[in-house]
């Protein structure tokens, strides 16, 4: 991890960690879904489950990001990701982050075509049943949030300190080629990095001190952001 990965307190930005987690999930999901015959495809992020930031990752440490497919349905797959940080001077390693993500495979020929997911072999029937329960819960929650329409409320003029309007903020980001997948829509990890940045601005403005990301409950991706 290098200085351009740092936040203002000197450890790695939470958004950078989220971006690495999503990239790892996309790689293993895409690799798995292209082990079958038919159209080539790419795994697209549709949901992030609770993400826990257990320990900070510091500049100069090496981040080891590992991803494993833990459940597959007909058209989606669950990937669990862990981030280990390693101090290469002392050899000390620690579990810094862990997350669960859901992907769907989109055909390279037609981004709106969802491909079938090859099934995985489970270590036990219990493991498969637990995965099926997680799949049902995330699917229901994603449908519920999609049904809700939330408008952005403009901040009031001259808001008082420690009010919602005082800390409210927004970012404008011009999407470039480096932000996009080969389908020309924005990587889920890039979106999460931007979300973490603006959330950090709001939290720092409200608290008037340095802040770090501690956890993310859930993120649903309902529509693509096109380049």
Nearest 10 degrees: Cα torsion 16, 22, 28, 33 = -150
- Tell me which of 5, 97, 179, 196 is the catalytic residue: 196
Helix H or strand E segment including 128: helix 125-147
Among 113, 64, 94, 97, smallest CA distance to 192 is for 97
Nearest 10 degrees: Cα torsion 68, 112, 181, 196 = -70
- Burial bucket for residue 174 (CB in 10 Å: 0-12, 13-18, 19+): exposed
- Token look-up 């952001």 returns 225
Among 138, 125, 22, 157, smallest CA distance to 83 is for 22
- Tell me which of 5, 7, 34, 97 is the catalytic residue: 7
Residue 34 designated active-site: no
Residue 184 designated active-site: no
Catalytic residue set: 7, 196
């Amino acid at each position: 991890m290098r200085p351009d990965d740092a936040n203002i307190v000197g450890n790695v930005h939470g958004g950078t960690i989220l971006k690495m987690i999503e990239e790892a999930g996309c790689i293993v999901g895409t690799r798995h879904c292209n082990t079958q015959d038919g159209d080539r495809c790419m795994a697209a992020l549709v949901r992030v489950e609770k993400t826990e930031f257990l320990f900070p990752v510091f500049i100069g440490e090496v981040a080891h990001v590992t991803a494993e497919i833990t459940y597959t349905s007909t058209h989606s797959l669950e990937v669990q990701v862990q981030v280990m940080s390693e101090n290469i001077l002392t050899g000390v390693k620690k579990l810094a982050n862990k997350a669960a993500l859901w992907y769907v495979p989109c055909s390279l020929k037609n981004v709106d075509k969802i491909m079938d997911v090859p099934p995985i072999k489970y270590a036990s029937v219990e493991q498969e049943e637990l995965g099926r329960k997680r799949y049902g819960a995330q699917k229901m929650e994603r449908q519920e949030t999609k049904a809700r329409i939330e408008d952005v409320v403009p901040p009031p003029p001259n808001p008082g300190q420690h009010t919602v309007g005082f800390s409210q903020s927004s970012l404008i980001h011009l999407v470039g080629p480096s932000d996009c997948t080969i389908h020309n829509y924005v990587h889920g990890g890039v979106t999460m990095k931007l979300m973490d940045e603006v959330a950090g601005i709001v939290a720092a403005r409200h608290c008037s001190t340095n802040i770090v990301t501690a956890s993310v409950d859930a993120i649903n991706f309902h529509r693509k952001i096109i380049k």
